[in-house]
Amino acid sequence: MITPAEEIRPDSMRILAAREERAATQLDLQKRFGQPLLSVTIVMPGPVKDGPLSCRLLDVAQQQVRKLIQDRGWRVLACVEALRDAGPEAIYVVDAPAEDLKAAAIALEDTHALGRLWDLDVIAKSMRPLSRSSLNRPPRRCLVCEQSAKACARSRRHPLAELLAVIEERVYGFDR
């Protein structure tokens, strides 16, 4: 439930608070289990991050993540799902080497038809996030052009409407 004080907060403040809640959940899971975490979130630009499109993307991402974990013979020790202002998310505690988990997550992001719309972050036992660059992998590309996604996002090179149109086209064009 949203309190009256939250109603007057800007969207960015609610999204930041949701990200802080996610970080607190990750820290709690890390303390409880002492194993790598796989945080599954959705790439959704703009202020609305928790709509039906995001939920559909998370559903497909979770199906693929569970299949990946099963195929590798890893175990899920816990899974926490939430729908927050920052969008839908799932955090898995996985009994697997963090570097292997990150490499598999990168491969899934890079090869699945919707993988570019997922953010599969791996957090090692030390609470250190593993990056693509830590595994000598190239940065992610923009949804619209071939430039670095970070560079395009930072410069706001593409209008929000264009980004959302690309996302919708990918999601609604995806055949499970």
Span 133-142, pLDDT tens digits: 888 888 888 9
The phi, psi pair for 168, rounded to 5°, reads: -60, -45
Domain range list for the chain: 4-138
Mean pLDDT estimate for the chain: 89
The conformational region for residue 34 under phi > 0 = left, psi -120 to 50 = alpha, else beta, is: left
* pLDDT surpassing 60 at residue 55: yes
Per-residue tokens: 159 = 């209008």
Per-residue tokens: 64 = 């693929």
Under DSSP, is residue 8 helix (H, G, I), strand (E, B) or coil? coil
**CATH number of the domain at 4-138, please?**
3.30.70
> What does the pLDDT average to over 46-75?
93
* pLDDT surpassing 60 at residue 96: yes
CB hemisphere CA count around 72 (13 angstroms)? 20
